[in-house]
Structure 1
Amino acid sequence: MTPPTSVGGRDVSGSPRRVNVGVGDLAVVDDDALLTTSGLGSCVAIAVVDHDAGVRGLLHAMLPSIDDADTSGLRSPRPGKYVDSGFDVMADAVADSGGSPDRLEASLIGGAEMLDLTAPVGPRNVSHARRVLADAGVPIVASDVGDGVGRTVLFRSDGAVVVRAADGFERTL
């Protein structure tokens, strides 16, 4: 028999469980799990928290809008791939977990200009994320966006967002 890897939301060492959010994915938790995502180049991460309910969500979106995507050949497009549809799904999941859209606060991370393109994706992701959050009435309380460096995000249970940049710099938002 294999020993358990987690008990009561913590791994067997006593550390909070780790929930890895992949590219084009999202996760919502209502315990002390550490939400993480890596590989943020031109992608953006939106971290939301309802402190009163203890509910947090993390989205790792690749592109600004599902409206601009050709999803005709897809049986079911991945909403987390896009800022707008990913945020909508995450906000619904937060509400389903007991959080309130009226109490959400957001941190915005990523959106780097990784390639020299005529229409860089990173700045468009950041701009669209700001618009989606404003339209939803969710204030952005912290951000670490732009530049030309990739990032990793650690979203702790206390609501703090730790950003590790590929250039070695680390900051807590």
Structure 2
Amino acid sequence: MTHGDSFRDRWNLRHAGADGPGEVAQVLLRNRHLLPEQGRALDLACGRGANALWLAEQGLEVHAWDFSPVAIEKLEREAKVAGLQVRCRVRDVVAQPPGADSFDLILVSHFLERSLAEPLMAALKPSGRLFYQTFIKEVNLGRGPGKDDWRLAPNELLQLFAPLRVHYYREDAPLGGETDPVADLALLVASRSA
């Protein structure tokens, strides 16, 4: 499903009113040891780019795509100030997913479009790694999407990416405490076979 102008306008307004690049995804911070030492990384639906900037700091060649021109402009400014190279692009990732065998690492954070599961797996190079985190239905701490359609069912992330080899998975619901920064998230790190 592609999103229309009113949806894009809502995200542009949200990004325009926000300060800074945001927070780095927990799936990255908790699994830094699983990052490739080098290679091409894609921050898909990157928003204002906290993850893209962090991945560039780790020495990866980073591409950052989002359909919000406001988010991309903010990311470009942040990257310039930090002296980091991030290849930014305004792109509707649903209409134009990444091509096959394109990236050593793909990160998706707080974005769920189930139809992209197959194209994302295909876009990983052999041994490429997928880092994914997004919201779950079972626990709603008042952040993230209001619609259940944009939240994961129990173990759904594992099912969507079943062909990949799982290196890390976490989904605490309904047992996680509300103070844990991942209590309402599912986190996955998985790789394509060599």
Q: TM-score, normalised by structure 1?
A: 0.33
Specify which structure has the bigger relative contact order, considering alpha-carbon pairs within 8 angstroms and separated by 6 or more residues.
1
Q: TM-score, normalised by structure 2?
A: 0.30
Higher helix share: 2
